Structure 1
Amino acid sequence: MRNLSKKVVDNKAALRSIGVALTVFGGLSMGGCGIRQTAKVGLEEPSAVPTWNRVKNAAIHAVTDPITLGSAAASAAVFASGTDEAISEWATTHHPVFGSKQGARDWSDWLRAGTIYSYYAGLSGEIAKEVAQNGTSGLLTTGLAGGAVGGVAAGANSYLTSKLKGGTGRLRPDGTDTRSFPSGHSSTASVHATLASRSIGRLGLPAPLTVGLNSGLGLMAAGTAWARVEGECHYLSDVLAGAALGHFFGTFVSDLFLGVGSPARINIRLDPSKENRTVGAGVSVPLSFLN
């Protein structure tokens, strides 16, 4: 049995500062429902070129989202309480969900992939709906909008996750390297589950089906996170922080460009006139988000 008192953090002071900051931030933001509603103003419609005020409102709306706040606060609480190692010891000894370390690691990959495929499935559903309503132009308009938003959100999430891993230098539970905080699997699953959930919300499906699909997405993201703990790849605070990070970027980028609850669609105006710059066979393609 491992010694539960062993030191698992190389840069303990830096990580403790992160924990304190998250705790203070969470405490200040717990009453943020009113702030969130205020920030939502101006995000109702899509925008191809967001103003700074819209960027601010989208950031506040994403930060004060209950999932973002809850995951960040839980991560801070677990870290500050010093229970990370004990939880890791119990999870990797008993394997209550996935049965073994290797099983947990395999499932973390499969579940993460499930959230990514779900994002593509949701985007495909939006494209199909747009094509049914507006013809084949929906293949391009909705595909470009949803694909661009998803790419920006996933890319930003991956970049910051990697930077935080290098900056915090937390040793993994199995001692393999110092890139434990935050969990990349968890943040990736979270950002794609969030994007997929937004797509589902725009499809106009019956409420019970929407709830069921969103529950499935939540289970896949949560399963990915816990599997990393059982697989001795991360501590619980690592995966909770990853979940907060991924949900933030999925919400922020979606709100910033597509708006809250608006269809993922851009308008492509084809103008073959000689007065316009042309692409291909005399076609100009100015892009702008529709209401």
Structure 2
Amino acid sequence: MTAAWRFLALGLALLWLPACAGAPERAFWGADARALPGWERLGEAALTAATDPFTWLPAAGAAALQIGGADEDVADWANEERPLFGSRDTADDVSDGLRIGSYVLYGAAGLAAPAPEDAWLETKAKGFAVGAGTLLATRGATDGLKAVTDRERPLDQDDESFPSGHASMTAAAARLTSDSLTYYDLSRPAEIGSDIALAGLVLTTSWARLEAGEHHPADVLAGMALGNFLAVFATEAFLAPATEDRLALGVRPEDDGMVVQLGWRF
């Protein structure tokens, strides 16, 4: 069994434990999906996605690597030393396996998430519709950026280096999986463990692309940021339960008139 499939088997095992747990912590996954969230919700979702640490930290790292040629230096070192996988072919196979594995984990997490018995198919369909749209958007955005940037790969294979598709797709699938797990009745250690495992999945996939000679570090970091941004944006805008409006206007009658109250929730 390859390292990629061992990682996937471990992930599925981790998902099976919470699947046997009790009632969900919040509404059923997929039950609150909506096609038209409104401009205010879209704006809030974009802000949440942009300020998420797994979006801005990789993006900042990709920018920092442009200082002093560090991006090229790390890519050259990874191609020459290959400390983790030993060969480019092995690294390439592992990255492919882990990317596919991230889709399997997402599918398993969504299917195993608690759902109402009388609307199981409907809630699953709505949840996966948001996820499928997110993955398609991530693929499209990645390909669009590749066409615009025309960056050559480290070994000059072609000019589709930036950003990494493996990194963006795996990051998106991992974040979708993480969101679906919030609907489980998980203990705090289980939550932390699943988050660490999913982060490890994304990081291992991304590093494998470096050792395979397919990308520079900035390429995979940008891909991670892009995939995470789109996944957070989609779940916050189209999937998460509705919340009360932050801006609230209330009117209360009084004996000699009325009182108008304006409140801001934060």
The TM tier, using the shorter chain, reads 0.7 to 0.9
> What is the Cα deviation at residue 214 of structure 1?
1.8
**Equivalent position of 1:54 in the other structure:** 41
The worse-fitting range, judged by mean Cα deviation, of 235-244 and 101-110 is: 101-110
Quick check: 2:33–2:126 contact (8 Å CA) kept in 1?
A: no
Give me the whole-angstrom Cα distance separating, in 2, the residues matched to 1:122 and 1:75. Answer: 30
> What is the Cα deviation at residue 47 of structure 1?
4.1
**Gap runs ≥5 in structure 1:** 1-44, 263-291
Counterpart pick for 2:155 among 161, 171, 174: 174
1:231 aligns with 2:218: no
Give me the whole-angstrom Cα distance separating, in 2, the residues matched to 1:257 and 1:223. Answer: 29
Give me the whole-angstrom Cα distance separating, in 2, the residues matched to 1:170 and 1:54. Answer: 35
Quick check: 2:33–2:130 contact (8 Å CA) kept in 1?
A: no
Could you say what secondary structure the match of 2:66 adopts?
helix
Could you say what secondary structure the match of 2:76 adopts?
helix
Counterpart pick for 1:185 among 144, 152, 166: 166
Letter in 2 for 1:123: G
Give me the whole-angstrom Cα distance separating, in 1, the residues matched to 2:95 and 2:192. Answer: 23
Q: For 1:249-274, what per-residue CA distance to the aligned partner results, in whole angstroms no more than 9, with x for missing partners? A: 11000000122699xxxxxxxxxxxx
Query: Number of residues paired by the alignment?
Result: 212
Quick check: 1:166–1:179 contact (8 Å CA) kept in 2?
A: yes
**Equivalent position of 1:142 in the other structure:** 123
1:71 aligns with 2:53: no
Give me the whole-angstrom Cα distance separating, in 1, the residues matched to 2:41 and 2:171. Answer: 23
The two structures, once aligned, show a CA RMSD in angstroms of 1.6
Q: How does 1:1-291 map to 2 (within 5 A)?
A: 47-126=34-113, 129-130=114-115, 134-138=116-120, 140-259=121-240
The worse-fitting range, judged by mean Cα deviation, of 247-256 and 211-220 is: 211-220
TM-score (normalised: structure 1): 0.70
Letter in 2 for 1:107: V
Letter in 1 for 2:157: T
Q: For 1:30-69, what per-residue CA distance to the aligned partner results, in whole angstroms no more than 9, with x for missing partners? A: xxxxxxxxxxxxxxx7644211111111001101101100
Q: For 1:3-24, what per-residue CA distance to the aligned partner results, in whole angstroms no more than 9, with x for missing partners? A: xxxxxxxxxxxxxxxxxxxxxx
> What is the Cα deviation at residue 137 of structure 1?
2.1
Larger relative contact order (Cα-Cα within 8 Å, sequence gap ≥ 6): 2
Quick check: 2:55–2:225 contact (8 Å CA) kept in 1?
A: yes
Quick check: 2:170–2:205 contact (8 Å CA) kept in 1?
A: yes
Give me the whole-angstrom Cα distance separating, in 2, the residues matched to 1:162 and 1:188. Answer: 11
Q: For 1:52-88, what per-residue CA distance to the aligned partner results, in whole angstroms no more than 9, with x for missing partners? A: 1111110011011011000100011112332111111
Percent identity between the aligned chains? 38
Segments of 4+ in structure 1 off by > 3 A? Answer: 45-48
Indicate how the Cα distance of structure 1 residues 95 and 247 shifts in structure 2: closer, same or farther if over 3 A, else same. Answer: same
> What is the Cα deviation at residue 194 of structure 1?
0.3
Letter in 2 for 1:257: F
The worse-fitting range, judged by mean Cα deviation, of 167-176 and 198-207 is: 198-207
Could you say what secondary structure the match of 1:83 adopts?
helix
TM-score (normalised: structure 2): 0.76
Give me the whole-angstrom Cα distance separating, in 2, the residues matched to 1:260 and 1:186. Answer: 28
Indicate how the Cα distance of structure 1 residues 260 and 182 shifts in structure 2: closer, same or farther if over 3 A, else same. Answer: farther
**Gap runs ≥5 in structure 2:** 1-31, 244-266
> What is the Cα deviation at residue 109 of structure 1?
0.6
Give me the whole-angstrom Cα distance separating, in 2, the residues matched to 1:189 and 1:144. Answer: 21
Quick check: 1:87–1:236 contact (8 Å CA) kept in 2?
A: yes
